[in-house]
Amino acid sequence: MARTGYGRKRVLVTGGAGFLGSHLIDRLLDQGNEVLCVDNLFTGDKRNLDHLVGNPRFEFMRHDVCLPLFVEVDEIYNLACPASPIHYQHDPVQTTKTSVHGAINMLGLAKRLKCPIFQASTSEVYGDPSVHPQTEDYWGNVNPIGIRSCYDEGKRCAETLFFDYHRQHGLEIKVARIFNTYGPRMHPSDGRVVSNFVIQALKGEDITLFGDGQQTRSFCYVDDLIEGFLRLMASPADVTGPINIGNPVEFTIRELAEEVIKQTGSTSKLTFLPLPQDDPKQRQPNIDQARAKLDWEPRVPLAEGLDRTIAYFRELIEA
């Protein structure tokens, strides 16, 4: 173990240069920990970590989790994987490898170190759900051979590996199923709905909706999500998850577009395109387990979170 004394932990965050990873690292450092960030920069961006240059408790390592990693740490957060359809469909084979081989390598490291390991899973394991809202005991409705399968099935297999390591080797695991999250440091061209709408609105372009815009999503602000991560990792060993971490307040995609137009003061118009293959019609978490086991629920309302996100992208565009 790599315990550094005075209660300080050395924490490994894979995918740490990404949107969620960089926010998690900030919180871990704020707690007084040492952080080793591992990222191959396929979708991560070192600019998300620029503010940490010179911090003696932060270290960056360029590495692909598909390859074994030999380091000494006290905890592992496994966030490495492209998470937007544009990025994970760019190289679908590599996406599956990252989820599966990456999980095997990080689980092997955790087994050797006898340390707890956190898996950033996804609401995509539910596919296009026939149960609404989605509870953790729902097995999902996933197309195993579709264009989204590399991500959906990769994450489902990673969950399988985590629970088999837990049962077979007694490994302490924490599995979070992440629902739609937004906030500063989102990749501006990752194709996610919040970043797409904000950038289109700020540029005065038409806002592109797929289908009729009546499909629903639940949007969780990044600070709330990271708080959920930390509470799950700090929970008793018998709290393994999977636990839904997301915002249970549901909005249609059209309502989101109209709120973005309102907050940006944009003159953008709405345009409609055909719905992509296997795009879920509904996505809303049941967070009863998170409330009961973690005393967690999101605090930041959509209007407030969008205000902070719009300010970030406005500065990015004007830079």
Q: Is residue 113 part of a domain?
A: yes
* Burial environment of residue 112 by CB neighbours within 10 A (0 to 12, 13 to 18, 19 or more): exposed
pTM of the model: 0.93
Q: Is residue 132 part of a domain?
A: yes
**Residues 117-138: what's their mean pLDDT?**
93
53 C-beta neighbours (distance < 10 Å), count: 9
Which residue has better confidence, 23 or 274?
A: 23
Number of structural domains (the chain) is 1
Clarify whether 77 is annotated catalytic: no
**Residues 313-318: what's their mean pLDDT?**
90
**Residues 88-117: what's their mean pLDDT?**
93
- pLDDT at residue 287 above 70? yes
Q: Is residue 209 part of a domain?
A: no
**256 band by pLDDT with thresholds 50, 70 and 90:** very high
- pLDDT at residue 239 above 80? yes
**For residue 171, what pLDDT is reported?**
98
Could you read off the pLDDT of 11-48 as tens digits, one per residue? 999 999 999 999 999 999 999 999 999 999 988 899 99
- Measured CA to CA, the distance from residue 30 to residue 223 in angstroms comes to 13
Identify the active-site residue in 77, 88, 126, 151.
151
**For residue 278, what pLDDT is reported?**
63
The secondary structure of 148-212 as a DSSP string is THHHHHHHHHHHHHHHHHHHHH---EEEEEE--EE-TT--TTS--HHHHHHHHHHTTPPEEEETT
Q: Is residue 181 part of a domain?
A: yes
Residue written as tokens 């503010």? 51
Q: Is residue 294 part of a domain?
A: yes
- pLDDT at residue 91 above 90? no
Which residue has better confidence, 148 or 171?
A: 171
**For residue 1, what pLDDT is reported?**
44
Q: Is residue 309 part of a domain?
A: no
What's the CATH code of the domain at 62?
Answer: 3.40.50.720
Q: Is residue 257 part of a domain?
A: no
Could you read off the pLDDT of 195-214 as tens digits, one per residue? 999 999 999 999 999 888 88
Q: Is residue 33 part of a domain?
A: yes
104 Cβ contact list (under 8 Å, min separation 6): 161
Enclosing domain of residue 71:
10-185+221-247+285-299
